[in-house]
Amino acid sequence: MVDAPPPGDPYRPPQPQAPQPAQPWLTPATPGGYGTSGGYGAPVPSPSNGLATAALVLGIVSLVLCQWMFLPGLVAFILGLVAAGTAKKIGGVGLGKARAGWILGLASVVVGVAVWVFGTIAFVAAIIGFAENLDVPVGDVADPGTYSTMVDTCDLSSDGLVEMTVTLRNRTAFEQTFVVKGAFIVNGSEAASDRGSVDVPARGTAAVALSATVPATTARSALRCDVAEVYEPFLDSSPSAS
């Protein structure tokens, strides 16, 4: 019988060890677990929709500026539609802002176009009215000794239309063309005027009709029709005496 080597004998062969049960609390942490700084895992960033915010801001700005320009509204409208399509792909994020943006953009375009159209019409009407009332010389002032005038009628309608008839007598020995300027006077001030040309035979008479519009509230007693001036047209050739 062989004795077992004494303890601590360096020549003692190693003894087999029984396997130890696994201890999970000593297991190295896996990525994303409790052993990492990430905890349960890195947070997923929430989706954003910057186009929706841009469309909303641009829509508000365009609605303020629509009286002068409607191009920002058109951009807001297009940008809002694009942002709405993007919002539907990311769970509806920014959909409300996108809709508000394109609605405001569309409204500003409609208002802007209307303002420009009506503004242009009003501007053209004002220019036409100014040109009609502009006292542009049409000829040389006629010699008062060559003619005489008489106002025959001065009728005022309920809508403010005044119609005046003037009879002009030619005192010369040849046929003459005259341009008559009539004045429509309300309460002592000229409210409107009109011009008309008439060919008058030698030592004869002819009538010319003039009309204008005065305020509809004008009373007939406050209205007076008068001949302001008589001209000989610039382009009228000098007639020969008969």
Q: Look at strands 189-200 and 147-156 and give their pairing.
A: unpaired
Residue 196 lies inside a defined structural domain of this protein: yes
* Owner of token pair 């005259």: 178
* Owner of token pair 């809709």: 99
Q: Which of 74, 103, 133 is the last residue of a domain?
A: 133
* Owner of token pair 């008589």: 230
Q: Which of 96, 116, 133 is the last residue of a domain?
A: 133
Do 151 and 115 share a structural domain?
Answer: no
pLDDT in tens, 210-237: 999 999 899 999 999 999 999 988 654 4
- Encoded tokens for 122: 């009003």
Strand order in the sheet with 147-156: 147-156, 161-170, 205-213
Domain that holds residue 187: 139-233
Do 151 and 89 share a structural domain?
Answer: no
Number of structural domains in the chain: 2
Do 107 and 146 share a structural domain?
Answer: no
Give me the pLDDT at residue 96, please: 87
pLDDT in tens, 118-150: 888 988 888 776 665 555 556 789 999 999 999
Mean pLDDT taken over the chain: 79
**Alpha carbons 238 and 100: distance in angstroms, whole number:** 74
Greatest Cα pair distance in the chain: 179
Give me the pLDDT at residue 183, please: 94
Number of C-beta neighbours around residue 9 at 10 A = 9
Reference 194, options 236, 148, 229; nearest CA is: 229
**Alpha carbons 27 and 43: distance in angstroms, whole number:** 25
Residue 39 lies inside a defined structural domain of this protein: no
Do 228 and 147 share a structural domain?
Answer: yes
With a threshold of 0.75, does the pTM exceed it?
no
**pLDDT greater than 50 at residue 57:** yes
Reference 137, options 222, 228, 64; nearest CA is: 228
Q: Which of 133, 163, 192 is the last residue of a domain?
A: 133
Residue 159 lies inside a defined structural domain of this protein: yes
